Structures are given as C-alpha cells and as structure tokens.
Amino acid sequence: MTDPTTLEKRIRRRIIGPPQLFFAATAPGLEALCAAELADLIPGAQLQPLAGGVSFQARLDDGFRALLMLRTANRVLMRIARFQATHFRQLEKALSAVPWELYLAQETPVAVRATARKSRLHHSDAIAQRLTDAVADRRRAVVFAPLAPAVPPRPQRIFVRADHDRFTVSLDASGDLLHKRGLKIDVGPAPLRETLAAAILQQVGYTGDTALLDPMCGAGTFLLEAAMRACRIPAGWYRDFAFTGWPAFRPRRWAYLRRTVETAVRRPAPAPILGFDQDPTACRRVEAALAKGGLGDSVTIQCGDFFNLDPVHLGLPPGLVVINPPYGKRLGAAPESRVLFARVVDRLVRWYPGWKLALIAPPGAEHLAPPPLTPRRLPHGGLNLVLFTGTLPR
C-alpha cells in the first residue's frame, strides 16, 4: 500500500495538523495543579480534569511542549483509538483498522499494557496479544517510515484499556516517567518524587524570587525543583521522550521549540537556594546532580545539622523553608518519629519567625503542629503523609 510520500502527507494531515486528544496522568490529588499548568501552557485548550489526570486537546507541537514543561504530570498519553468490542473478532477488526504506520516507525518494537474492567473481554494478556498481532500484520501490509538515524529503537509503550466493553488505545509519549528529570545520578534512600516536590512548591507559590532553604535535603529533590523553577528551566529539559521516535516527530521543529523556551531561562537563580544535610554522601550526591544541570551557581550545599543551623547567621531574609525529615513509616508505630517531628517544629517556631513553611509530616500528624500551620493530606508512594504549610509567627 502507500508509498513514503503519501505516508508523509497522511502523517501531516492526520497527526501533525489537527488537534489530538492527550491525557496527562498525575498522582491522586495533583489533577487540579496539573490542569492549572496546562491552562497556562496552552491558553484556550479544552481541558478536563478527571480522577488521576487531565484530558486535553492540543496540536501535536503543543502536546510535545506540555511534555517538556509540565512539572506535576507522571506521564502524557496520546489517545489513538476508541471503540466498543464484546468479543475477540470485534477487537481484532477494530485494532486492524488503526493506521499504525502513522504512529510507529518500522523498527520500533511495541510494549503493550492491557487492562480490563467490567468488560466481557477481560483477559488482559489476550487483549495485548491481539494488539501486538495487529501491528505486525499492518507492518507486513503497508509501508512504515524508518526510524530517524539518531533515534535508538526502544520499545514504544501502548496502553489499551477496556472499561464496560469500551476500549481506549493510547501511545505513551513520555518514555521514562516524567518525575525522572534526568539530573539525579544516585537517588539515595527515601527520595521525594519530583512531581510531588514540584506540586508543593507550586502550592506555596514559590517562584524563585525569594530565598529557599531545605535543611534536610537528602537527594536534593526540592532544591533541584526549586532551581529549575527559579531559573525557568522546563522540567523535561535534561531528558529524552518517547515521542522523539514517532514518525510525526520533526527534529527541527523540536529544536526551534527548545530554543524558544530557552530564551526565558535566567541563570543563576535570582534569590538564594540553600541545602543542608548531615550526611556528607547526600551532600556530594546533590552537588553532582546540580553540576550535571549547570545549576551549581544557583544552589549552595552545606553539610551540617539542622538543629545547629541559624538562618540569621546565613544572612538570609525570611523566605521559604521546605523540610522532609526522615520519619519511620507510621507515627503511632514509631514514637521516635513523633519526637523528631516535635523537635523539628520547635526549632522552626523558635528560629524561623516570618518564614513561610512547607513541612512534611508522617501519617496521623494532622493535629500535632501549632496554628497558624494548616495540614493537608499528601498521598505519596502508598503513604498518606501530611503537608503543613503557613507562615511562622514573628
């Protein structure tokens, strides 16, 4: 069937030209923040916050820009087919009608993830196999574009979801999950997800124009997120995406988009960003990640004990202190967590008057911090942590 020129025209007419439907998947509770980010990035885009993410319509270039910029999304999918199927013949027919050559290069292997809920076809492995077969059949029947020489042939993840016999097929545009910013070399124990750190900074209104201090910085997640935000560096600046292997990907347009975004970058960060940790290995790890991103002149790392730290001696005017102490898993089961939490709050109240605060507390600690700090739930990796925010009284 189709020759390369016709294929190119179809890709332009069907994929690059018209708006596509995307879904930005988020951690539970981050949907509204992600929708706010998208509304900012793609003014006028049709957005629909749903449980677990935000559905949005955008041209392909805007979808790619969203992937580059979004700080709170875990991944972005592009919807490519929706249909109803109650038996396998119907599923095979619908999958063989998908013009796979518009979405996949010739050499790209597919990695299918199928899920089924309240559907007559509920065997997810069999559903996935039907999709893999449909792609292979199509590859035998029509011309697919070759992969661009610079792009390694890595598997393209395809999601197929059945819900009440309604099927949705989506391409993962992200590749690695988006919290992987491409800077950390070694994460160390108990790191915070970058998407969650970004959401916390967004919630407390951090723009980079005031000082930020993380006195128990661990792998430096808050510091790296703060530095990127303060320098206006996109969340995905240092990493790669699956969509660069799509036949509709245009390297020159992408390079232009990156150049445009780069004009907004300001280095170093306009206000101090400081990290402390008592563990020298953690400090070296953060320094290495900062150096990798060229962020060393925006963030200062010092090895030291939070309980000996005096922000006045650092010459800092009150800014934002973000802190994620090393708690045990459950407050009730770990009395030392309660003691640590009380000591941290006491130190903050005495030594940080006038500072804004974002303090992560263990599950069940809602009632343990003094007013005016307000608690909110913070789902993270199966734990219901608590985030206290507010301004410490002068």
By the rule CB under 6 A, 190 interacts with ligand SAM = yes
Site string for ligand SAM, 307-346 (x = CB under 6 A): x----------------xxx--------------------
Nearer to ligand SAM among residue 155 and residue 364 (C-beta)? 364
Q: Which of 306, 341, 355, 388 binds ligand SAM (CB under 6 A)?
A: 306
d(CA 150, CA 394): 57
Query: Which residue in this structure is represented by tokens 């605060």?
Result: 357
Name the minimum Å distance from CB 222 to ligand SAM: 6
Of 140, 143, 133, 125, give the one whose Cα is nearest residue 93: 133
Name the minimum Å distance from CB 88 to ligand SAM: 46
Nearer to ligand SAM among residue 257 and residue 314 (C-beta)? 314
Name the minimum Å distance from CB 362 to ligand SAM: 11
Q: Which residue is nearest to ligand SAM (CB)?
A: 218
Nearer to ligand SAM among residue 169 and residue 197 (C-beta)? 197
Nearer to ligand SAM among residue 256 and residue 307 (C-beta)? 307
In this structure, is the dihedral angle defined by the CA atoms of residues 146, 150, 155 and 158, taken in order, positive or negative? negative
Burial class (CB in 10 A: 0-12, 13-18, 19+), 191: middle
Name the minimum Å distance from CB 191 to ligand SAM: 4
Site string for ligand SAM, 60-99 (x = CB under 6 A): ----------------------------------------
Kindly state the tokens that stand for 142.
Answer: 């029509």
Of 116-124, 129-137, 304-312, 365-373: span binding ligand SAM (CB under 6 A): 304-312
Site string for ligand SAM, 262-301 (x = CB under 6 A): --------------xxxx--x-------------------
d(CA 81, CA 93): 12
Measure the CA angle with vertex 60, ends 59 and 62; round to 5°.
Answer: 70
Beta-sheet strand order (sheet of 20-25)? 47-50, 53-58, 20-25, 75-84, 166-172, 156-163, 110-117
Residues in the chain: 394
Name the minimum Å distance from CB 360 to ligand SAM: 8
Query: What are the C-alpha distances in Å from 30 to residues 78, 182, 203, 336?
Result: 20, 22, 10, 30
- Put residue 373 in one of left, alpha, beta given phi > 0 → left and psi -120 to 50 → alpha: beta
d(CA 45, CA 55): 10
Site string for ligand SAM, 119-158 (x = CB under 6 A): ----------------------------------------
- 143, 1 in Cβ contact below 8 A? yes
Of 283, 307, 286, give the one whose Cα is nearest residue 295: 286
Name the minimum Å distance from CB 204 to ligand SAM: 15
Binding positions for ligand SAM, 31-60, rule CB under 6 A: none
3-class secondary structure per residue, 115-151: EEECCCCCCHHHHHHHHHHHHHHHHHHCCCCCCCCCC
Cis amide leading into 372 (omega within 30) = yes
CB count within 10 Å of CB 303 equals 14
Nearer to ligand SAM among residue 69 and residue 219 (C-beta)? 219
Site string for ligand SAM, 214-253 (x = CB under 6 A): -xx-xx-xx-------------------------------
Of 92-100, 142-150, 212-220, 366-374: span binding ligand SAM (CB under 6 A): 212-220
Nearer to ligand SAM among residue 24 and residue 216 (C-beta)? 216
Number of residues that bind ligand SAM (CB under 6 A): 20
Kindly state the tokens that stand for 127.
Answer: 């559903």
Per CB under 6 A, residues contacting ligand SAM are 190-192, 215-216, 218-219, 221-222, 276-279, 282, 305-307, 324-326
